[in-house]
């Protein structure tokens, strides 16, 4: 097995399998331009010459904290057009993952936000573990739910994707399977064994992944008590209607959700809701085109710069 090293991203390969390894531990694998260019450049070769692609992380309990928002914000403040490379080449990479003719497997054993979530959602196999912690926090940052999440989230049952995108709510572990986001659950202690099995017999990826899949004890969906309300409230036409219905509901959950939404960037909320509503009938390519236009607009406006992330070492920490 060869192991060419490229700083924050590592590529390995066997005769039949290409492996992408996030290797930016100090920044929780926040995806920068170099990583986007590198992944985009190698996917075409992997698709031509391999039977399977695996993406994983070297960082314990972290898959990817999303895009390198702090770096993008710096570029936007400087009015440096390099910031526009992120959507241009990022969506090209996302499209390649979402349309690969060979299986693309995300072994997702930890924190998964933003861009990391996009890579996982568009993988043919999104294998989560008890450590998987999924969220789309962009509306808190003066941005919108991007990385082609509109295509995926708009199609979840009960308008659950609308709720996740507008609140940045987190889903942990098996909840990701029950929500329809992850395709399979594998205990963290078995992930390395699953990877070896895939490397040894990539042509049988579907059967292998199913054989490692499990249902953990007490696998109850944490959002079950709220699903009826989520469907009724987040199917609304406007953000104002959503807030009005939450006010009318008056429950503890509704009050918490109101406080969360009111903390978000208003323009980001409206743009995200609109794009999710129209994405229901759009193809993957149409969603990418729509989001690409939105991203270019947001990166040249003030809301993105004035968002509310707490930054550290190039990462966005969204939890107060």
pLDDT in tens, 201-215: 999 999 999 999 999
Known catalytic membership, residue 67: yes
Radius of gyration of the chain (CA): 19
Name which of 142, 96, 98 is nearest 123 in CA terms: 98
pTM beyond 0.75: the answer is yes
Question: H helices within 123-190, ranges in order?
Answer: 149-153, 160-167, 175-178
Out of 67, 98, 142, 173, which one is annotated catalytic?
Answer: 67
Q: Per-residue confidence at 79, pLDDT binned at 50, 70, 90?
A: confident
Average pLDDT of the residues in 256-273: 94
Average pLDDT of the residues in 230-234: 98
Average pLDDT of the residues in 226-238: 98
Structure tokens at 187: 């205990």
Average pLDDT of the residues in 97-113: 96
Structure tokens at 312: 């550290």
Name which of 237, 114, 99, 119 is nearest 170 in CA terms: 114
Here the CATH number for the domain that contains residue 213 is 3.90.226.10
* Arithmetic mean of pLDDT over the chain: 90
Q: What angle do CA 78, 83, 89 make, to 5 degrees?
A: 170
- Domain of 73 in residue numbering reads as 5-317
Report which of residues 29 and 4 the model is more confident about.
29
Say if CB 37 and CB 48 are below 8 A apart: no
Out of 8, 138, 175, 291, which one is annotated catalytic?
Answer: 138
Known catalytic membership, residue 68: no
pLDDT in tens, 36-73: 999 999 999 999 999 999 999 999 999 999 887 778 87
Instruction: Say how many residues make up the chain.
Output: 320
Buried b (16+ CB within 10 A) or exposed e, 11-33: bbbeebbbbbbbbbeebbbbbbb
Out of 115, 116, 142, 307, which one is annotated catalytic?
Answer: 115
For the cut 50, the answer to whether the pLDDT of residue 316 exceeds it is no
Known catalytic membership, residue 40: no
pLDDT computed for residue 189 by the predictor: 97
3-state secondary structure at position 127: strand
Name which of 169, 141, 142 is nearest 153 in CA terms: 169
Known catalytic membership, residue 195: no
Question: H helices within the chain, ranges in order?
Answer: 33-49, 69-77, 85-98, 114-121, 149-153, 160-167, 175-178, 191-200, 205-212, 227-234, 239-249, 252-263, 266-279, 284-299
The total number of structural domains that make up the chain: 1
Segment among 5-9, 67-71, 214-218 with least mean pLDDT: 5-9
pLDDT computed for residue 306 by the predictor: 62
Average pLDDT of the residues in 157-172: 97
pLDDT computed for residue 314 by the predictor: 32
Name which of 32, 24, 124, 109 is nearest 69 in CA terms: 32
């Amino acid at each position: 097995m060869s192991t060419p090293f490229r700083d924050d991203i590592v590529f390995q390969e066997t005769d039949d399998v290409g492996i992408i390894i996030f290797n930016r531990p100090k920044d929780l694998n926040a995806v920068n331009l170099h990583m986007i260019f590198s992944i985009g450049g190698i996917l075409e070769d992997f698709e031509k010459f391999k039977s399977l692609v695996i993406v994983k992380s070297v960082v314990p309990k972290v898959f990817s904290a999303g895009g390198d928002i702090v770096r993008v914000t710096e570029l936007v403040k400087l009015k440096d057009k390099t910031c526009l490379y992120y959507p241009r080449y990022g969506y090209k990479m996302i499209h390649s993952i979402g349309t690969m003719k060979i299986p693309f497997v995300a072994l997702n054993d930890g924190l998964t936000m933003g861009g990391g979530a996009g890579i996982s959602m568009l993988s043919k196999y999104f294998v989560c573990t008890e450590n998987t912690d999924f969220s789309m926090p962009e509306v808190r940052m003066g941005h919108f739910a991007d990385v082609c999440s509109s295509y995926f989230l708009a199609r979840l049952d009960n308008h659950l994707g609308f709720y996740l995108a507008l609140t940045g709510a987190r889903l942990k572990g098996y909840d990701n399977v029950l929500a329809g986001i992850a395709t399979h659950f594998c205990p963290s202690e078995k992930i390395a064994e699953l990877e070896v099995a895939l490397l040894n017999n990539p042509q049988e990826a579907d059967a292998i992944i199913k054989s490692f899949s499990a249902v953990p004890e007490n696998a109850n969906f944490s959002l079950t008590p709220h699903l009826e309300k989520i469907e009724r409230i987040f199917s609304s036409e406007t953000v104002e209607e959503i807030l009005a219905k939450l006010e009318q509901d008056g429950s503890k959950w509704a009050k918490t959700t109101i406080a969360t939404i009111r903390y978000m960037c208003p323009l980001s909320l409206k743009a995200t809701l609109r794009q999710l509503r129209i994405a229901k009938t759009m193809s993957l390519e149409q969603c990418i085109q729509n989001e690409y236009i939105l991203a270019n607009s947001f990166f040249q406006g003030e809301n993105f710069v004035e968002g509310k992330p707490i930054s550290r070492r190039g990462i966005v920490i969204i939890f107060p």
